[in-house]
Amino acid sequence: MVENNKIQAYLPAGASEIENDLGTAPGIFYEGNKKIIAAFPGVPSEMKQMFDKLIMPRLEKISGGDFLVVRKVRCIGAGESAIAEMIGNMMARDRNPLINCTVDCGVITLHIIARAKDKHTAETMAAKDIEKLRGILGRLVYGFDEQTLAKVVGQKLLERKKTLATAESCTGGLIAKMITDVPGSSKYFTYGWVTYSNESKMSELGVKEELIERFGAVSGEVAQAMAAGAREKSGADFAIAVTGIAGPDGGSGKKPVGLVYISIVSPDGIKTEEFLFGHRNRDFIRLRTSQNALNLLRLNLGD
């Protein structure tokens, strides 16, 4: 039906419309008998925005009793079970705050769920737990809540007024993509190379041919030369370089799929590490390589 020049959808009796700022399909909201029924359009970006804007506040209002605060502690550098062991009985199932753990491609996220009669008390309880966890986990903790490694690294570069360049082989641009996912990254990220062929490693980053011949393109020596070349050519303060075998082909007995070298060059020198992400698929190897490269840079940037 048309009303005030606006086309309206039909709604079930007793229900009201949830406005959709990003599309034309409205949502449906019904409240009765202390229950909410809400229906949204299927496009995730529209649904999420509508949920946050209209449903969350109403849920908070009708929940009445306890207040829940959820905070997240993001870790990288140790496995789920190692971290669980370090935390010990803080993860007991009947504890308040309750601490849950999820894992996504090398990043361990601890969810601290604090329940109290008011918001301030719940927030204080969660904050105390976060301090405890920081004390226990130290530098394994890279950030909080929705922080990504790229955001944390970017923030550190901004604070120190430093710049960054990248030279990627097996990750094929993924590290640069993750860095530039962050708004404002042009303030510290200047140059990136995807040197996928041996020729490009030589012509763009000045890697010497004999180095590739002697050690192979996938070697700590070549990673180091790529990082040094990227820093020199860009004039950046820091450079990340990676070379490895993302698979599924290209592996050998000596250099299997999942073998990766990451090199970080900083004003203090060069650090190169070897990783072996064996028996996993191409996407996994590329993502883990990128996460580890950003994490090595984070550790290099200090606290």
Q: What are the residues binding a copy of itself (CB under 8 A)?
A: 22, 43, 45, 103, 166, 168, 171-177, 179-181, 183-186, 189-197, 199-200, 203-204, 233-234, 247-250, 279, 281-284, 286
Nearer to a copy of itself, 122 or 258 (CB): 258
Measured CA distances, 237 to 187, 202, 215 (Å)? 13, 21, 27
| Minimum CB distance to a copy of itself, residue 62 (Å) | 30
* Residue showing tokens 């200090």: 302
Please say whether the beta carbons of 83 and 108 come within 8 A.
Answer: yes
Interacting residues of 247 by C-beta distance below 8 A, sequence separation 6+: 257, 258, 281, 282, 285
Nearer to a copy of itself, 69 or 241 (CB): 241
Nearer to a copy of itself, 66 or 209 (CB): 209
Nearer to a copy of itself, 78 or 127 (CB): 78
| Minimum CB distance to a copy of itself, residue 292 (Å) | 17
| β-bridge mates for residue 74, sequence order | 109, 143
Region for residue 240 given its phi and psi (left: phi exceeds 0; alpha: psi -120 to 50; beta: otherwise):
beta
| β-bridge mates for residue 16, sequence order | 29
Distance CA 291, CA 281 (A): 16
Interacting residues of 144 by C-beta distance below 8 A, sequence separation 6+: 71, 72, 73, 74, 130
Nearer to a copy of itself, 106 or 126 (CB): 106
| Minimum CB distance to a copy of itself, residue 180 (Å) | 3
Per residue, what are the HEC states of 100-148? EEEEECCEEEEEEEEEECCHHHHHHHHHHHHHHHHHHHHHHEEEECCCC
| Minimum CB distance to a copy of itself, residue 225 (Å) | 17
Tokens at 59, concatenated: 């849920």
Question: Residue 36 is inside which H or E element, if any?
Answer: strand 35-39
Which of 220, 229, 231, 212 has the alpha carbon at shortest distance from 272?
A: 220
Nearer to a copy of itself, 142 or 189 (CB): 189
Measured CA distances, 52 to 20, 43, 46, 60, 112 (Å)? 12, 14, 10, 11, 20
| Minimum CB distance to a copy of itself, residue 189 (Å) | 5
| Minimum CB distance to a copy of itself, residue 129 (Å) | 24
| Minimum CB distance to a copy of itself, residue 16 (Å) | 25
Nearer to a copy of itself, 52 or 118 (CB): 52
| Minimum CB distance to a copy of itself, residue 279 (Å) | 8
Nearer to a copy of itself, 21 or 303 (CB): 21
